[in-house]
Chain A
Amino acid sequence: MSIAAETKSQVAELGEKYKYGFVTDIEMERAPKGLSEDTVRYISAKKGEPDWMLEWRLGAFKRWQAMTEPKWARVHYPKIDYQNAYYYAAPKNTPKKQSLDEVDPKLLETYKKLGIPLHEQMALAGVAVDAVFDSVSVATTFKEKLNEAGVIFCPISEAIRDYPDLVKKYLGTVVPVTDNYFATLNSAVFSDGTFVYVPKGVRCPMELSTYFRINASETGQFERTLIIADEDSYVSYLEGCTAPKRDENQLHAAVVELIALDNAEIKYSTVQNWYPGDENGLGGIFNFVTKRGDCRGKKSKISWTQVETGSAITWKYPSCILRGDESVGEFYSIAIANHYQQADTGTKMIHLGANTRSRIISKGISAGKAQNTYRGLVSVYGKAKNARNYTQCDSLLIGGDCGAHTVPYIESRNKTARIEHEATTSKIAEDQLFYCLARGIPQDEAVSLIVNGFCREVLQQLPMEFAVEAQKLVGISLEGSVG
């Protein structure tokens, strides 16, 4: 089946409904509602964390209490009641699993609906999946193969227990505890997440992948991801998100930290399709994420690729600190906002080292009554001799009730630096649409085709497994936006 045809059949199957809007009925174990020092202690105790980790969390919580929620982004949402949510939810009875067979079949069923059958993936895709079900990682595959290579790929709670020195050395060094309101909140209450360490000279033998999923009602999801690529290593990490349908808004505040040492490369790809809310703007995920990579070593490289189609509110700026000389940062983004979605996303490229290079390609698509903002910063510091940046940000508008905004900041403090920025905004080309329609291609399919063409430069950056899913998502997200 061609991708376009498959998209259509999927849309039909959806019947305007969110495909992943099902709820798995598993007994959940929750922390008491609300947020206090006790909640933080509860989470830490549940995870069996050492004292230093608890102290770290409590320190963050104290700072968070004194902070105020940022207001600068172009997103509007009702006031979040932080006391009216659960900060920890875990499927009950989760003793250590030796193999997948021991995992609750209902959980596995959930993943099947998501299209990531673990068994099949083990056999076919060659992708190791560390699946996060709400807050606790339940199954980790391909561990052995990774062990052979010396790659550590495990839930961060496990890393805190088994590799405390590594965690202590790197946690919070890219996104400091006090970085921003949501990152500080995450530091206090993060329940789980992923830890990756690729040792010197190792090229990670497979793409690492994690699916995040918010399941229980009224729970926030606070993952913490820490990826370290030691000298001369390479790792490609895929992150995908889906969440079941809920009417109330759910909060998601994740923190991702990447560290690339000399000559190391990290490729981080995200497909985010959290529940966006319904056609009337009811429900949906509030996605406030802090993602930052630190090119700490010489000639290191960090590349972010994101396809953002979900969430009612997106507040996300995957950034690169180009500290090492000759380091490279990349940001490829597709952000689609339909119905009442609001996305405020972009990147920061901070050029500190000499001969650093960065590239930003951003494609924003707005439809329905959505607002889509690209917000970016390219900053060249005095010592960043011969720094280079190229930025291209294109916006596509579908319909007259949506908005597309571009807010780029360009700061140069070195005369040898060269920065170029280009941006365009236009509507979906009527001649292209007409061309497709005249050849018997239905409207929705034509829109999907044209938008996929508009996004091509970014889609090409995605690993194969994600590119296919992403193309489908582009079509599904824009279903019914023209006409």
Chain B
Amino acid sequence: MTLALNLDRKAAAAAVVHSHGVPHRRIEEWKYSDLKSALGDQGLGAVTAEWLVGNLPSGVEMFDLAWPNPPAWVMNHFARPTQNVMRAASLALSAGGVALRVPAGAQIADVLKLDFNGPGHVRGLLVLEEGASLTLAEGVGVADFRNVGFEIVLGEGAALEHVRISPEAGDAVLVEEVLLHLAARAHYRGHFAGFGSKLSRMELEVSLEGEGAQAHLSGVSVLDGKRHSDVTTHVIHRVVNTNSTQLFKHVAGGSARAVYQGKVTVAKGADGSDSSQTAKALLLGEAAEADLKPELEIFADDVKCAHGAAVGDLDAESLFYLRARGIPESQARGLLLQAFLEDAVAEIVHTDQRELVRTELLTALKAVA
């Protein structure tokens, strides 16, 4: 990226931030997550947050976005213009981040570990070229306020499994926007496990741009006390014969708030789109709240789109069944909660990552139940 181009993109992003300001609950997309009030007087700031690549598997190329003279693959994909105010802020208000690339055809067996840490704004870029494959484990460090803008580009036939675990983070305000571009036959699996914080928002925008592209999103959240967790997704079927699934499960105890806002758009002419969307929440706390908004926006007729959402308590009959077989109530409840979350966890293909999420869930469930 030439310096001028970089400056242009930054200036455009700054203009977006300037015209929109910090999102608050009167902005429809932020209705359930009032960022402005969570941040209070501190505002967005202009600090650059940290990133850390735990282990760089051989075959993966890395570039520090703070360095000069970025290579062509960074120039081609980094910081596409956006109207998303927080994504724009992550560019306008930071001076760095990390870019990673898996070259065409490379099948990376080792898990790539990437952590974002500290306060401020930071950018990430991950490019999988044609036919490449990778498993990415994203870690989330605790900080007062952090905003991550992450772009992921999958070339034709590329495959990525992305597992993000966001630990319980007390009073932290953590926002992340992941933007994905999928070429033909590219395959994305993303799993998002969240344990909440004062305000915690994971925003995913998935653009299916080539025939045969597939995105499978899943996630679990277990929230206690006053924790908040917001998963906001937007999957856009831009071309014919693309497929997406979403499965999100939330458990909210105490006075926690679990939010799921999912939007599926099928563009005009994107016939053969197949999409399903399920969001379920269990409320355990007297003052807990679940807000679900599964949205469909469809401009083509030859499509199959469905969504389902449910909020409730543990099923009394199932509980009775277990108790009748001599299982103590607390244990029975624990089992049912595990079962409730399990089908979303089972979406994770990578065995070690799946076990990791399970372990975290067990610990969190004990605290809530």
Contacts and interface: CB of A to CB of B under 8 A. Distances in A.
Contacts of B284: 415
Contacts of B283: 412, 414-415, 417
A357 to B, nearest CB: 14
What class of interface size applies to chain A in its complex with B?
35 or more
A375 to B, nearest CB: 10
Chain B: number of interface residues, binned into ranges: 35 or more
B311 A418 contact: yes
Interface in B260-283: 268-269, 271, 281, 283
B346 interface: no
A402 B306 CA distance: 18
A399 interface: yes
Interface string B302-336: 11111111111100000000000000000000000
A384 to B, nearest CB: 12
Grouping DSSP codes into helix (H, G, I), strand (E, B) and loop, the A interface class, with mixed when no group exceeds half, is strand
B294 A423 contact: yes
A398 B300 CA distance: 9
A460 interface: no
A420 B312 CA distance: 9
A419 B308 contact: no
B114 interface: no
A427 interface: yes
Nearest to B307: A423
B234 to A, nearest CB: 13
Given A419-B312, A423-B306, A425-B306, A398 B301 contact: yes
B297 A403 contact: yes
Contacts of A398: 301
A416 interface: yes
B300 A400 contact: yes
A408 B311 CA distance: 13
Contact of A410 (B296, B302, B311): B311
B28 A421 contact: no
B286 A415 contact: yes
Which residue, B283, B310, B311, has most C-beta atoms of chain A within 10 A?
Answer: B311
A77 interface: no
Given A400-B269, A408-B294, A382 B303 contact: no
Contacts of A420: 308-310
B309 A424 contact: no
A408 B301 contact: no
Contacts of B311: 380, 410, 412, 417-419
Closest 6 CB pairs of A and B: A397-B301, A415-B283, A418-B312, A427-B301, A412-B311, A406-B296
Given A419-B309, A421-B309, A423-B294, 18 more contacts: A382-B287, A397-B301, A397-B303, A400-B268, A400-B300, A400-B302, A406-B307, A408-B295, A410-B293, A412-B281, A417-B311, A419-B311, A420-B308, A421-B292, A421-B308, A424-B305, A425-B296, A426-B305
29 contacts: A382-B287, A400-B300, A400-B301, A402-B299, A403-B299, A404-B296, A405-B295, A405-B298, A407-B293, A407-B295, A409-B291, A409-B292, A410-B290, A410-B309, A412-B283, A413-B287, A413-B289, A415-B286, A415-B288, A417-B312, A418-B313, A419-B312, A420-B309, A421-B292, A422-B308, A424-B305, A425-B298, A425-B306, A427-B301
